[in-house]
């Protein structure tokens, strides 16, 4: 007789997350709750930033691109050609559109720049220059011609005219590249032919041939959480870019060199619309303007942040050419104020900072980004946002087809850590003015991830190949192996989050691909570890500055600054909002804080009560990379009554809590000693000046309560935040700080539970005991954790314990059993 067994049905759901205290209840669900599989898998790849000017919708030093299915991989696109050895058949590039929980609009408008692959034949133009350029001596207009003043004269090639504004970047007054308009865009597509014979090379036709133009499909979607707790991909709307070959289409949408929102009632700006509609292909909606209140029912949102996501799939349908394009998403409120034509938009946004803001909406490529270079010199390209809890992890970065005009070296760095490019140095940067960087393909030395020189292809020589092996970038910030007696940038650089950047000379109009990944199995940094910080603490009730000469928190006049000697203007902080309390701050808000122990003040700190609280001690603590976690012996002189019981027989520099010498890590609720000694000394000013000059991001403690006075003063910490120091006057005791963000990656009182997994058999026999184990993550989640088990035919079992819990269950009857 055949034996029939028991089938176990396993379901598990995480009911909630406790941030800072108490038990965590893990409870199973009914069979209608949360299954272990989804209908449509949500794209989870690493997000790659699409461009350095994505938030304001300008086109500058790069654009996105895609080649047609009849093209060849040696043109720079590793996946779209149908005969690609890397991904044979049709291929789709996916972009993730993140809509933050605090997005203040009902509608998000998605715009495509130049979604067609049509090139204009015109070559001579009167260009206009930005206000910044005119104010620095350049003429308002100039006559420019393709092939003479930039780009190529042939219609088959791109043409970007030089505006001459780069002259005020490379020469006096040495402005930042993002302050000027480097190019006047005429053509960005590349008209290319397929191989003449099978297996041959692609190339350029003798004359412009629209039959080779690439037709590109842009398909917008979202993922819905269904009642059965599966996720389903919901197609919203799509648009098929035109070719102008009069076979596939007539080119009558007039999208060449324009930003457009297909299907919208106002597809172009009312300021410069070519006068036609741009119909989209409906799915559940008929427009690239998405109403978040009605168009995306049950949209999946991030359980911790509340952020929502749309997805844009981009696929080449036909053709062999390169279709250059770009993406922007944000509020629909600019259709009557911001031009659609690319050059007019670039100028408008530059001349009116903050006039075309994405309101926090971000677009990133999922895992792979195809990019086209519009710049001929080394330039900083943003690749990814890296949070501080990723410190110590390794990012894998691969690059495809770095050839035409590209030059070594290639340097990875963070925009939150001091980095100073220097084209005259073989490293590509000035090591004396740089706190951390990883340079690859430097002549005469091995790569910093241990790969010997000559193993990898170098930029400019990687035609039709991926860099092999891929670059391995270790994120700084894990200070556990720092030798504070001999600190190195590899082991001792603190990390407070920031954009991972790459300094790369891609050459003009070269197309290449980035591929980025991180081991998602790696746990983030334990947020209950102590914080490395700098000795300046800000009161949580301080309010952001108002315009100069107004209110109680006025921005200082230029003459009020001790440093920098040429201070930034109030208007230069385009993301600033005035009169905002610190606890409600957003990145870009600026605060002028005065020294003191009252509401809205800041205080200087000394990390322990054993060391002499003099200006040399303060200067040491202000010196990069800081010394809050340095408990080694530097031979420093101590107070007459040194600390006892901290574990050493010398005077350390690092943090020790007053009254509790065993507490040597900086956390929320800890007390820190006030520094009341001399501040306005050259050693202190030198360190403050260096922070300003190098644009460093600094982690500073936030205080809520002060007690005592003078050398007996104490501040109690309520949190941590990152700031940039942008100016000061020590004679009148104020600092000017730009808020960058709150930081919960360290110094927290508990670690939240984020996920749970259930390990158990799926088949069994009657009257046999089987183990069922629940494991929570991360491994450093705060305990105790309460586990509630429910199973068919058994009473509820409640256990309290650590990060894992096991129960043994048996049944005396046959059939399907549920364990939750």
Looking only at the bridges linking them, the beta strands covering 107-113 and 289-291 are antiparallel
pLDDT(226) > 90: no
Residue for token digits 């938009």? 345
* N- to C-terminal Cα separation, the chain: 32
Helix or strand or coil: residue 479? helix
8 Å CB contact between 63 and 188: yes
Query: b/e string for 193-214 if b means 16 or more Cβ within 10 A?
Result: bbbeeeeeebebeeebbbbbbb
Cα separations in angstroms, 287 against 105, 107, 184, 249, 278? 17, 11, 30, 20, 10
pLDDT(359) > 90: yes
Q: How confident is the model at residue 23 (pLDDT cuts 50, 70, 90)?
A: very low
Q: Which has more pLDDT, 527 or 391?
A: 391
8 Å CB contact between 609 and 673: yes
Q: From CA 617, how far away is CA 637, in angstroms rounded?
A: 10
Q: How confident is the model at residue 9 (pLDDT cuts 50, 70, 90)?
A: very low
Q: What is the mean predicted confidence (pLDDT) over 141-161? A: 97
How confident is the model at residue 521, as a pLDDT?
Answer: 67
Which run of H or E residues covers position 539?
A: strand 536-539
8 Å CB contact between 123 and 159: yes
Q: What is the mean predicted confidence (pLDDT) over 616-634? A: 96
Which run of H or E residues covers position 737?
A: strand 734-742
How confident is the model at residue 229, as a pLDDT?
Answer: 67
Q: How confident is the model at residue 787 (pLDDT cuts 50, 70, 90)?
A: confident
How confident is the model at residue 503, as a pLDDT?
Answer: 97
pLDDT(114) > 70: yes
pLDDT in tens, 308-343: 999 999 999 999 999 999 999 999 999 999 999 999
pLDDT(282) > 90: yes
Q: How confident is the model at residue 49 (pLDDT cuts 50, 70, 90)?
A: very high
**Percent over 70 (pLDDT), the chain:** 94
Strand partners, 369: 514
Q: Which has more pLDDT, 764 or 428?
A: 428
How confident is the model at residue 409, as a pLDDT?
Answer: 97
Q: From CA 726, how far away is CA 584, in angstroms rounded?
A: 20
Phi and psi at 374, nearest 5°, equal -115, 25
How confident is the model at residue 522, as a pLDDT?
Answer: 76
Positive or negative: CA dihedral 129, 179, 408, 87: negative
pLDDT(772) > 70: yes
How confident is the model at residue 783, as a pLDDT?
Answer: 78
| Mean pLDDT of the residues in the chain | 91
Instruction: Pick the closest to residue 216 from 330, 88, 114 (CA basis).
Output: 114
Q: What is the mean predicted confidence (pLDDT) over 551-560? A: 94
How confident is the model at residue 525, as a pLDDT?
Answer: 81
pLDDT(412) > 60: yes
């Amino acid at each position: 007789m055949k034996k029939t067994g028991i089938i176990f049905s396993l379901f598990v759901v995480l009911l909630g997350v406790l941030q800072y205290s108490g038990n965590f209840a893990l409870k199973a669900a009914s069979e209608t709750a949360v299954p272990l599989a989804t209908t449509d898998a949500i794209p989870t790849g690493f997000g790659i930033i699409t461009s350095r000017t994505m938030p304001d919708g300008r086109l500058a030093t790069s654009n996105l691109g895609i080649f047609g299915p009849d093209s060849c991989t040696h043109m720079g696109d590793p996946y779209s050609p149908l005969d690609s050895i890397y991904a044979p058949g049709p291929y789709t590039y996916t972009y993730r559109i993140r809509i933050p929980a605090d997005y203040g609009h009902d509608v998000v408008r998605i715009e495509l720049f130049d979604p067609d692959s049509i090139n204009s034949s015109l070559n001579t133009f009167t260009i206009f220059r930005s206000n910044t350029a005119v104010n620095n001596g350049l003429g308002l207009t100039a006559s420019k011609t393709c092939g003479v003043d930039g780009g190529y004269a042939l219609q088959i090639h791109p043409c970007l005219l030089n505006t001459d504004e780069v002259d005020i970047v490379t020469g006096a007054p040495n402005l930042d590249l993002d302050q000027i308009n480097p190019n006047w865009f005429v053509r960005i597509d590349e008209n290319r032919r397929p191989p003449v014979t099978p297996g041959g090379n692609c190339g350029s036709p003798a004359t412009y041939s629209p039959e080779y133009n690439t037709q590109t499909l842009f398909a917008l979607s979202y993922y819905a959480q269904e009642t059965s707790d599966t996720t389903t991909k919901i197609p919203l709307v799509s648009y098929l870019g035109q070719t102008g070959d009069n076979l596939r289409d007539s080119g009558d949408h007039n999208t060449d060199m324009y930003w457009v929102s297909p299907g919208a009632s106002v597809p172009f700006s009312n300021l410069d619309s070519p006068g036609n509609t741009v119909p989209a292909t409906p799915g559940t909606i008929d427009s690239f303007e998405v109403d978040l209140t009605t168009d995306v029912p049950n949209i999946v949102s991030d359980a911790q942040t509340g952020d929502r996501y749309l997805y844009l799939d981009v696929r080449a349908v036909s053709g062999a050419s390169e279709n250059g394009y770009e993406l922007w998403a944000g509020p629909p409120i600019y259709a009557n104020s911001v031009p659609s034509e690319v050059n007019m938009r670039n100028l408008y946004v530059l001349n009116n900072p903050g006039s075309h803001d994405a309101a926090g909406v971000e677009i990133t490529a999922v895992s792979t980004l195809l990019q086209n270079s519009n710049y001929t010199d080394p330039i900083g390209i943003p690749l990814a946002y890296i949070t501080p809890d990723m410190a110590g992890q390794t990012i894998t970065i691969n690059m495809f087809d770095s050839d035409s005009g590209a030059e070594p070296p290639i340097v990875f760095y963070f925009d939150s850590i001091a980095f100073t490019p220097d084209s005259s140095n073989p490293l590509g940067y000035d090591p004396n003015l740089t706190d951390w960087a990883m340079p690859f393909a430097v002549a005469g030395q091995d790569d910093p991830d241990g790969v010997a020189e000559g193993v990898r292809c170098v930029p400019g020589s990687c035609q039709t190949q991926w860099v092999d092996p891929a670059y391995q970038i270790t994120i700084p910030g894990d200070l556990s192996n720092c030798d504070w007696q001999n600190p190195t940038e590899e082991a001792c650089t603190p990390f407070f989050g920031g954009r991972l950047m790459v300094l790369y000379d891609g050459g003009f109009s070269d197309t290449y691909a980035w591929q980025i990944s991180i081991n998602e199995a790696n746990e983030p940094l334990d947020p209950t570890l102590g914080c490395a910080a700098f000795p300046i603490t800000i009161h949580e009730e301080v309010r952001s500055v108002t315009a100069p000469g107004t209110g109680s928190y006025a921005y200082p006049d230029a003459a009020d600054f001790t440093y920098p000697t040429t201070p930034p203007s109030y208007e230069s902080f385009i993301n600033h909002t005035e009169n905002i309390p610190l606890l409600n701050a957003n990145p870009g808000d600026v605060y002028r804080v005065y020294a003191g122990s009252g509401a809205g003040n800041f205080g200087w700190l000394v990390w322990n009560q054993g060391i002499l609280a003099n200006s040399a001690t303060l200067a040491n603590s202000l010196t990069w990379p800081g010394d809050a976690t340095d408990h080694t012996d530097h031979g420093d002189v101590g107070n007459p009554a040194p600390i006892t019981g901290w574990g050493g027989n010398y005077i350390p520099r690092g943090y020790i809590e007053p009254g509790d010498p065993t507490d040597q890590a900086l956390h929320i609720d800890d007390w820190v000693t006030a520094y009341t000694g001399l501040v306005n000394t050259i050693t202190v000013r030198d360190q403050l000046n260096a922070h300003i000059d190098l644009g460093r991001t600094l982690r500073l403690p936030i205080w809520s309560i002060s007690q005592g006075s003078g050398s007996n003063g104490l501040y109690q910490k309520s949190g941590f935040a990152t700031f940039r120091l942008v100016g000061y006057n020590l004679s009148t005791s104020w600092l000017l700080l730009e808020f960058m963000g709150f930081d919960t990656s360290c110094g927290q009182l508990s670690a939240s539970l984020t996920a749970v997994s259930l390990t158990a058999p799926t088949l069994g026999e009657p009257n046999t005991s089987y183990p069922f184990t629940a494991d929570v993550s991360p491994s450093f989640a705060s305990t105790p954790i309460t586990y509630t088990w429910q199973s068919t035919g058994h009473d509820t079992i409640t256990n309290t314990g650590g990060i894992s819990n096991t129960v043994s269950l048996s049944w005396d009857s046959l059939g399907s059993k549920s364990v939750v």
